[in-house]
Amino acid sequence: MIDLTPLDVRKKKGDFRRGLRGYESEEVDAFLDMVADRFEELVRENSQLRERSREQSIEVGAFRGREQALNEALVSAQELREDIRAQAEKASELRVREAEAEGERRIQEAKRQVERQREALEQLQAQRGRFIRSYRGFLEAQLVEITLQEERILRSRTGEFEPEIDVVGDV
């Protein structure tokens, strides 16, 4: 393709040879001026379009950069959300395990307390049994002593005397 400028078209006017009955030089000159003017318009328009295309390419590049940044931010946000969710699940599981361990510890402590209380109750029941047996023995000995005393009193009224015997012993 030949590089042709509006100036080339304007200079070309004088290069045409004139022949007999050739074209009207004024018409050719007017036509070449019109072509040169239109050519200048097209060159300006083409330049403007190229500049606009360049600016739009820059904008598209910027938009693509922003789109990529947004996509990266979105992916990062999704990953962060997943990390936070996973951490929350781990924290929740840890709290559940800690609560279960604390519950188990309290159950074991309650069982130990129940066992201590049961042992204390058994000791008290055994002590009560010993006390009741001892007290019953004491009361029975006292009853025997009272009975003997009553018999002595009755005999002393009737005049019968018997030697005194110590029946009570160590209680």
Residue 34 confidence (pLDDT)? 82
How far does CA 63 lie from the centroid of its chain?
A: 35
Residue 89 confidence (pLDDT)? 96
Burial of 141 (0-12, 13-18, 19+ CB in 10 A): middle
The neighbour count for residue 28, using CB atoms within 10 Å, is: 15
Residue 160 confidence (pLDDT)? 64
As a whole number of angstroms, the distance between CA 61 and CA 104 comes to 63
Q: Give 10-59 pLDDT, tens digit per residue.
A: 777 666 666 666 767 777 778 778 888 888 888 899 999 999 999 999 99
As a whole number of angstroms, the distance between CA 74 and CA 158 comes to 121
The letter for the amino acid at 7 is L
Cα angle at 165 between 163 and 167, to 5 degrees? 160
Kindly indicate the confidence band of residue 125, based on its pLDDT and cuts at 50, 70 and 90: very high
Residue 171 confidence (pLDDT)? 47
- Domains of the chain, by residue range, sit at 6-158
Mean pLDDT throughout 85-89?
96
Among 16, 62, 11, residue whose Cα is nearest residue 35: 11
Q: Retrieve residue 73's tokens.
A: 């931010």
Q: Give 133-167 pLDDT, tens digit per residue.
A: 999 999 999 999 999 999 999 988 887 655 555 55
Contact 41, 29 (CB under 8 A): no
Mean pLDDT throughout 58-78?
94
Kindly indicate the confidence band of residue 3, based on its pLDDT and cuts at 50, 70 and 90: confident
Kindly indicate the confidence band of residue 87, based on its pLDDT and cuts at 50, 70 and 90: very high
